[in-house]
Amino acid sequence: MKFTLSAIIIIMLGLLPGSVRQVAAQDATPTLYKMKCQICHGPDATGSPAGKKMLVKDFTSPDVQKQTDAELLEIAKKGKNKMPAYGGKLTDNQLTELIKYMRDLAKPGARGK
Ligand code: HEC
């Protein structure tokens, strides 16, 4: 019994290699954003000076807001123009959390304005 249970757990971990990291990533989203995205998207998701040179889009703009989470996830996974592709580097779950986080950053209240 014991063997069976641990075997199942090992198989499940094997099938879902990101699962453990995904749980951790939920708390780590702001850190992940700072490490991987802020350099171009800026601390408030409106775009850093370097990002703006690469035509990063302001997350407060209707252009970004009107896109669904699924559409934004596609861009984050596959990349677009100067936006690097993160599929394979980050999990869908991490990217979804990051997109939510970026939408939150872009809300007027989030910046105390
Ligand atoms: C090297 C600079 C750079 C980095 C680093 C970067 N991005 Fe981007 N990102 C861009 C640019 C430029 C665009 C605009 C692409 C376009 O539409 O031409 C963009 C667009 C996006 C979009 C789609 C918004 C839209 O409508 O254009 C999402 C979502 C996004 N980035 C998420 C992320 C996430 C999440 C990270 C961190 C894991 C990240 N980006 C890191 C440069 C970057």
Domain 31-107 class, CATH top level: mainly alpha
| pLDDT grade for 3, boundaries at 50, 70 and 90 | low
Q: How do residues 38-95 score in pLDDT, each as one tens digit?
A: 999 999 999 999 999 999 999 999 999 999 999 999 999 999 999 999 999 999 999 9
Q: How do residues 16-25 score in pLDDT, each as one tens digit?
A: 555 555 555 4
Q: Ligand 1 atom closest to Cα of 67?
A: 26
Q: From residue 75, give the alpha-carbon distance in Å to each of 78, 83, 99, 113.
A: 5, 8, 11, 29
Q: How do residues 74-84 score in pLDDT, each as one tens digit?
A: 999 999 999 99
Q: What gap in Å lies between CA 98 and CA 28, rounded to an integer?
A: 10
Task: For ligand 1, pick from 32, 56, 72 the residue to mutate: most ligand atoms within 8 Å of CB.
Answer: 56
Tokens in use for 99?
Answer: 């997109």
Domain ranges of the chain: 31-107
Tokens in use for 43?
Answer: 């601390």
